Amino acid sequence: MVETGGIRVAIDLTKFRLTGFIALSAMFGHILAAPAPGIDTLVIGAGVWLLAAGAAVLNHIQDRHYDRWFARTRHRCLVQNRVGVQTAGWVASGLVFSGLVFLAGGLDTHLPWILGVFALVCYNGLYTPLKKKTLFAVWPGVICGMLAPAMGWTAVPQALAHGTRIQLFGVMLVMGIWQVPHFLVLAAAQPVCDPGADRFPSFIRLWTKTELFLQILVWVCVYSLGIFWFLLNGGIVLPGVSASLAGMAFALPGVMGLCVVRFKAHAGAGGFTTLNLSMLIFMVLGILDRILPVVFPLQ
């Protein structure tokens, strides 16, 4: 029981699902640029995950008083005193240091760890404190999320780079756009009576529920268009993978619309799962598109 509790605390502190996505997007960026996936792909994934996990723990420390005002976050470890602030601080420091060591010492270029430090500044230095003051804090958060594939891309020495910069920009664009409806869906799931809605800036105070749902659908459509733009610029090579990704992008606005209409009172849960699953499919298919020709070369 203690072991299970410890694992749950670790998953909560490191925001394992989100940081896993970030690491996977860095590996995607690396595979787009590398002639073939290799040990460096795993190094960049591990380094980015360690750095992102450290930033997530630091975010918990920064938000421990803020989180108690929201139903979604008031059960987090530091709010409930299941982990001490000092312990969390040591964990955050160890993870960030380890991530930077991986990125600086395990690769042949310095750009990934420099971008990693910039991502820390955007997330913990700008987004986290600013979200308590203004809704514009969403933009440093978007920039931070766009940096992970760039870290993977720049881990490949320029002389060996195989992909095109337009493909990197496409991945960064899709990752950046995806985060906007992601933020809005979390806002849609927030109860109107949540104490934090009155105490801090909130999208549910800016728009009615209907307006918020329309904003979500608009940004989901833009997100789908971003995926199509990535495909049109040669982001995917294999026809079957390209068709699968295009089909997902075409269906996504309709699926999100169903989530909003069918679960209007609790649209956050279904929409959140749909958005996360779509991003997972986008990254996995993109990685498979580069790996399959290497594993099964055409004769």
Q: Report the distance separating Cα 229 and Cα 185, nearest Å.
A: 24
Q: Report the distance separating Cα 5 and Cα 74, nearest Å.
A: 18
Whole-model pTM? 0.90
How confident is the model over 138-157, as pLDDT tens digits?
Answer: 999 999 999 999 999 998 88
How confident is the model over 179-215, as pLDDT tens digits?
Answer: 999 898 888 877 767 777 778 888 888 888 888 888 9
**Is the per-residue pLDDT at 260 higher than 80?**
no
- Contact at 8 Å (CB) between 141 and 151? no
- The residue count for the chain: 299
How confident is the model over 51-93, as pLDDT tens digits?
Answer: 999 999 999 999 999 989 888 888 899 999 889 999 999 999 9
Q: Where is 270: in which H helix or E strand? A: helix 267-295
- Contact at 8 Å (CB) between 220 and 278? no
Q: Which residues lie below 8 Å from residue 242, measured CB to CB, with a gap of 6+?
A: 231, 236, 289
* Pair of tokens at residue 1: 């029981």
pLDDT at 150: 95
